[in-house]
Amino acid sequence: MLRALAAVATLVAVFLVAIVLTDGAGSGIGAWSTTLGVGAAAALWRGRRRTRAARLVPFLPVVVAAALTASVCIPSVPTARRYPPALPFVATQYWSLATGSRVAVYHYPPANAGARHPIPFVYLNGGPVRGISVLDHRFLQLLARQGYDVYAYEQAGGGRSELLPMDQYTISRSVRDLAAFVDHLDKGSVDVLGFSAGAVVLTRALADPSVAAHLHRAIIAEPGPMDGPTVQMTGHRGRPSARGLAPAVTGPRSTRIPRYATAFGLMRLGLLTPGTGLIGQAEGDNAFTAADLGSDTASGYCARDAHRIPTEDTAQNFSFSPAASLRVQQTVRDSPSIAPQLRRSQTPAMLMVAECSSQVRQWATAVLAEDPAIQRTQYMPGVGHHMWNGLDDNNDRAAAVITGFLQDQPAPLPNHPTREEIPTFLRDRE
């Protein structure tokens, strides 16, 4: 029995190595055939001196291993993209941008008849390639009720936006899509709020004069690393988050299915490319669920909120592209420093950082240090990475910070940290 189990484990290992070496070509069928061939050859060699009936015994581990590994090669969700159904509270528009991207767009006209703001407001969500959550839509509706003409679009490949070929997912493409979106809007310069990965797109847009010329004001909220050198920065994060404290996320998980556990796991480890032949982009998007994010959701909230984390999205609206997101992150990691370009930025900007941020603090302070046009920093107490989360008055407080900056009013919170305070801010592990 031990020999049989060892044989099965060896064949599974051969299969995984073959998957990596072939980058999952042909949905893994090539690796599976190789494993079957190796196993059959070994079984024939082991049974060469046995009686006819006994010669079949060495094939038993081969059959077991073949069945186990075959589960990695067989899709259990549709391989053509299944887009989320329409939202009941906002119409989905589809814009074809000059870059070739076709994106899903949501428009919340100003609902306040008294105080309307003439500059359009554009929201760039996090992800990098993810649908806009219902929780974010509610926050955008709040801004519209305060008189803002709000537009949001899901970046190419995310949510209801159409997919791109895998090699076209780059951070540079995301910046070009933002410029093309503003051009398509055709309403002059715009105010932009970029959150998390969206803040990275916005930061890099500020470093590109041809794009920054179309930005009226910029709000950089909880940014990820803006370039390759920033990715390499290490340091502390904010106050403790709810990661590891919140109840386990419930619901179906693709990562409990051998095919997707293998594909996503090996991609995460860098052993398979985002464009792997094991699973197609559309299939991976269809398979990935909110529960697959695990503790990532909890990391967006303060430890004190661990047992009251709101439901951020519905199962029908949730959409995340793991392969495309990894591809975009890879292009950020491989990019040279944008600091020299960012130092020439002239677009008035504001930085927002959360008390319980799950982001490395140096990612935000690097932007603050290099962008001379950042006029104020707002350190948001009592919230985690997802600052507008529907809890208590967090949405109203975030909206007050944003609208105060857009209307050039006094900041509702102290300007902290300033550039001069960065060393102290990092030393005190705020």
21, containing H or E segment: helix 2-22
Claim to verify: residue 208 and residue 288 sit in the same structural domain: yes
Claim to verify: residue 135 and residue 275 sit in the same structural domain: yes
Claim to verify: residue 30 and residue 179 sit in the same structural domain: no
Claim to verify: residue 123 and residue 164 sit in the same structural domain: yes
223-282 pLDDT tens trace = 999 999 999 999 999 999 999 999 988 888 998 999 999 999 999 999 999 999 999 999
Cα–Cα nearest to 335, from 231, 220, 180: 231
21-71 pLDDT tens trace = 999 999 999 999 998 988 888 777 776 666 665 666 667 888 888 899 999
Claim to verify: residue 39 and residue 122 sit in the same structural domain: no
Q: Is the Cβ–Cβ distance between 395 and 388 less than 8 Å?
A: yes
- Where does 175-313 show beta strands of DSSP type E? 190-195, 215-221
- Angle, in degrees to the nearest 10, between helices 134-145 and 394-406: 50
End-to-end CA distance of the chain: 57
Claim to verify: residue 64 and residue 106 sit in the same structural domain: no
Claim to verify: residue 192 and residue 335 sit in the same structural domain: yes
153-210 pLDDT tens trace = 999 999 999 999 999 999 999 999 999 999 999 999 999 999 999 999 999 999 999 9
**Residue 384, pLDDT score:** 96
Cα–Cα nearest to 169, from 157, 160, 181: 157
Asked whether residue 316 is domain-assigned, the answer is: yes
Asked whether residue 84 is domain-assigned, the answer is: no
109-151 pLDDT tens trace = 998 767 889 999 999 999 999 999 999 999 999 999 999 999 9
Cα distances from 241 to residues 296, 363, 382, 393, in angstroms, run: 10, 17, 11, 19
Claim to verify: residue 64 and residue 99 sit in the same structural domain: no
Claim to verify: residue 213 and residue 360 sit in the same structural domain: yes
Claim to verify: residue 315 and residue 359 sit in the same structural domain: yes
**Which residues, listed in sequence order, are joined to residue 320 by a DSSP beta bridge?**
130
Asked whether residue 75 is domain-assigned, the answer is: no
Cα–Cα nearest to 234, from 366, 355, 362: 362
User: Is 285's pLDDT higher than 80?
Assistant: yes
For residues 208 and 45, what is the distance between their CA atoms, to the nearest angstrom? 64
Q: How many CB atoms lie within 10 A of CB 43?
A: 20
Q: How many domains does the chain have?
A: 2
Phi–psi pair at 336, nearest 5 degrees: -75, 170
Asked whether residue 302 is domain-assigned, the answer is: yes
Domain boundaries, position 25: 2-70
CA 354 to the chain's CA centroid: 18
**Residue 44, pLDDT score:** 77
Q: Identify the CATH number of the domain in which residue 141 sits.
A: 3.40.50.1820
